[in-house]
Amino acid sequence: MNDRFANVAPVARSLLALIFIIAGVQKISGYAGTQGYMEMMGVSGALLPLVIAVEVLGGLALLVGFQARLAAVLLAGFTVIAGTIFHLVPSFEMEAMAAQGEVIHFMKNLAITGGLIMVIIFGAGSWSADNRRSGAAVSAG
């Protein structure tokens, strides 16, 4: 990675991670409502603890750059699946205005997935737990 951009990777990872961490914490505080919504959409509410773990733990791993590529793979897969189930599929059954909002939410999920793919390809960057563990020097560049 170019030394001029070494400080950008943790900012980018943080922006990606925050949406997952916040969403996971909100699911904890609104557990019953989230579980009911999942079941209404045809997804077993018993999966909610797994969803929370993926969002919070995956988000934290991405935030600090620990096993960042693996975290990004898991979060990207989760994001595409959740976006399809909760945003894309319902948009086919709604009136035009409501459907447009769901399609925008789905596109947001695809954009987040694009950012995660960048982490998968380029790694966590020099300011990360992954880089510290590998013994690589952090460039002040």
Confidence of residue 32 (pLDDT cuts 50, 70, 90): very high
pLDDT for residue 3 = 65
* Side chain identity at residue 19, one-letter code: I
Q: Give the Cα-Cα-Cα angle 53, 66, 60 (nearest 5 degrees).
A: 35
- pLDDT tens track for 85-118: 999 887 777 787 778 888 999 999 999 999 999 9
> Is the CB of residue 75 less than 8 Å from the CB of residue 119?
no
In Å, what is the CA distance from 38 to each residue of 41, 43, 88, 89?
5, 5, 15, 14
Alpha-carbon gap, residue 139 to 4, rounded angstroms: 9
Under DSSP, the state recorded for 43 is: -
Q: Which has the higher per-residue pLDDT, 78 or 133? A: 78
- pLDDT tens track for 34-72: 999 999 999 999 999 999 999 999 999 999 999 999 999
Spans of all domains in the chain:
3-133
pLDDT for residue 140 = 38
